[in-house]
Amino acid sequence: MIKIAITKGRIEKQVCQLLSKQGFDMEPIFHKDRELMIETPDGLSMIFAKANDVLTFLEHGIVDVGFVGKDTLEDSDFQDYYEMLDLDIGKCYFAVAAYPGYKDKVFHRRKRIASKYTKVAKDYFNQKQEDVEIIKLEGSVELGPVVGLSDAIVDIVETGSTLKANGLEVIEKISDISTKMIVNKVSLKFKKEEIFDLIYKLKGE
């Protein structure tokens, strides 16, 4: 039996729909209420967790496979996994965003950047050799500039409607994001056939 951790929310819905489309019986998942661990008739044991916790469960060998956004992978120090498949879902991108005129306003001083993704933000400004102050926010990161906490944000953009609704714009795109299937290295040794079978099915092969 393969043990899988799926990021709750957007990714959960799309991954389960994809599995269903590829022939897996996902009825117990579609009808679940508050259960966090479910076994499907096809022998998948699934848990539903916050994005960072998917990595924790995989790191500790609790699950063999994780479905998680590239954003979560890039913001984590945990690197000891195999990235096996891009699911072509959960597509969005990391960007620096701010009010129009931001560059003129801050060129003479140290910028304050709000983000839920502090490692991504730090890595990005380090690589540009810019010394900035990073301020961690847990969500609704657009509030940073709106309330005057930060000059700009590093956050996920999909349609751009949250930025637009708050008068903000993309200053620079950082990198593309989509949902990845990652695998525990030990699991790949001992459950190779089952894991590759799942990959082939997800790819529709």
Ligand X SMILES: Nc1ncnc2c1ncn2[C@@H]1O[C@H](COP(=O)(O)OP(=O)(O)OP(=O)(O)O)[C@@H](O)[C@H]1O
Instruction: Give residues in contact with ligand PRP (CB under 6 A).
Output: 139-142, 155-162
- Residues 50-69, one symbol each (x = binds ligand X by CB under 6 A, - = not), give -x-----------------x
The CB-of-187 to ligand X minimum distance in angstroms stands at 22
Tell which positions 5-34 bind ligand X, by CB under 6 A. 7, 9-11
Residue 71 in contact with residue 117, Cβ under 8 Å?
yes
Given 3-state DSSP classes, what are the helix, strand and coil percentages for the chain, each rounded to the nearest 5? 35, 30, 35
CA pair distance 49, 52, nearest whole angstrom: 8
Based on the shown chain and the rule CB under 6 A, indicate whether residue 163 belongs to the binding site for ligand X.
no
Closest-approach residue to ligand PRP (CB) = 139
The CB-of-149 to ligand PRP minimum distance in angstroms stands at 15
Phi then psi for residue 89, to 5 deg, are -130, 175
Residue 131 in contact with residue 167, Cβ under 8 Å?
no
- Of the pair 17, 162, the CB lying nearest ligand PRP is at 162
Footprint of ligand X on this chain (CB under 6 A)? 7, 9-11, 51, 69, 71-72, 90, 92, 139, 156, 158, 177
